Amino acid sequence: MMDRRTFSKGLGLAAGGAAASLAGLASLPAASAATPGPTPAPAVPAVTPGAHASFTSLKRVRAGLLDIGYAEAGPARGPVVICLHGWPYDIHSFVDVAPLLAAQGYRVIVPYLRGHGTTRFLSSRTFRNAQQSAIALDIIALMDALRIEKAVLAGFDWGSRTADIIAALWPERCEALVSVSGYLITSLEANLKPLPPKAEYAWWYQYYFATERGRLAMEDETKRNELNRLVWDTVSPTWSFDDATFERTAAAFDNPDYAAIVIHNYRWRLSLAQGERRYDGLENRLAVRPAITAPTIVLDADRDPFTAGSDSSYRDRFTGAYEYRTLAGIGHNVPQEAPTAFAQAVLDVARF
């Protein structure tokens, strides 16, 4: 989930900015300066969250170290949007977003991140590494495999971090960016510093994953699903999802590398697990918090316990056209809880 840095302002909920309903209705005015394009984006038709249960097209492609499973929607020659999920979620976070964007002519690609769903490592000898630069390189490899030169990147949680990294290190591949919770590039040095107790309390699962008990829980299907559902309940307190919705996503947790990837990701972020030397150069570049020049819309959900309540701690990291929007009554899983607002942000940022 999100970088501990986002707690630097405490756990206050977002104030000000425009509000979106729980159904994710659009028409969200800027909460800070924006530079809109000359042609306004069309309004996305409102969709009730949960209107779709599945994707019509599921594919796989060899890319880098992986055979990546992904959903695809929309015209093959349309402008590309790559939607990136977080933890503990999967591609179904975008099951209502994808049809909205496809109807506007976009080619929508929604990959399973490494360790999730149908994505598999090509070699059993590859270290099951989940450090931030490795995951970002997976998406660059996916773009190369699909011959996508440039795309709008849109994500939340691990997906926001991955999109931020690509926008920062490979700006030529990022047409525009929608980043839930803002600038999430991990600073290992900052993560060594203790936070206020209330903030640390919300990260209970990170410390659990630092233990052998936590690793074993992730390897046990029943305990894993109970833990992940508890996270869903606590970080999305207003989202009324049913058992079937959770179970569709939980199928992605059965990936044979899921436990290893989740545990390594959180241990690496706390400097309790090593990364790989081959990524040191990228991590050194990320350590200085590189600026993002791509047009960006940041979405903050005011019922997400990881929302800091403003963009003041990272606003200077976005140096291009920029807009900050708050979503009232929405929790952590923004695209699934507020698909219309998320899709509208994608259309809008592409016009900046």
Cα Rg of the chain, angstroms: 18
Cα 208 from Cα 191, distance rounded (Å): 16
Alpha-carbon dihedral sign for residues 206, 208, 211, 216:
negative
pLDDT value for 261: 98
> Could you give the CA distance from residue 266 to residue 262 in angstroms, rounded to a whole number?
7
Output the pLDDT for position 39: 76
Q: What is the pLDDT of residue 26?
A: 36
pLDDT at 140: 98
pLDDT one-digit tens code per residue, 132-157: 999 999 999 999 999 999 999 999 99
pLDDT at position 1, please?
A: 54
Query: pLDDT at position 244, please?
Result: 98
Nearest-CA neighbor of 208 among 218, 198, 199? 218
Residue 196 pLDDT = 86
Low-confidence ranges of the chain (pLDDT < 50): 2-38
Residue 4, pLDDT score = 41
